[in-house]
Amino acid sequence: MAHISGITITKNTRGNDFDLIINYKKNPELVTSILDNNNMKNPISPYDPKFVAKIKKSEKQIAEGKVHKLDMNDIWK
């Protein structure tokens, strides 16, 4: 068994294959890179689902034109 910075390689029970375990919290860039290179979506999001829902709702409102524009000169009045 080899263990390097959140990456563990172990020989499986059959003895001829190896299992690769990557700790997402220690190596999020590596996991994301592997998933992107294999056209897979990352099932683990570092963001709270409630926060993601708010952002998606805001993006939808922007697309529908439901926005308020402020004059930069009037902000501090």
| Interval 31-60: pLDDT, tens | 778 777 777 766 667 788 899 899 999 999
| Domain total in the chain | 1
Residue 70 within a domain? no
Global pTM value: 0.40
Residue 27 within a domain? yes
Q: Which residue in 24, 20, 17 sits closest to 9, CA to CA?
A: 20
Residue 40 within a domain? yes
Rounded (10°) CA dihedral 58, 60, 65, 69 = 10
Q: Mean pLDDT of all residues in the chain? A: 78
Q: What is the pLDDT of residue 69?
A: 85
Residue 26 within a domain? yes
| Domain of 17, in residue numbers | 2-46
Buried b / exposed e over 21-50, threshold 16 CB at 10 Å, is eeeeeeeeeebeeeeeeeeeeeeeeeeeee
Mean pLDDT of the 3-22 span: 68
Residue type, 30: L
Q: Which of the pair, 20 or 55, is modelled with greater confidence?
A: 55
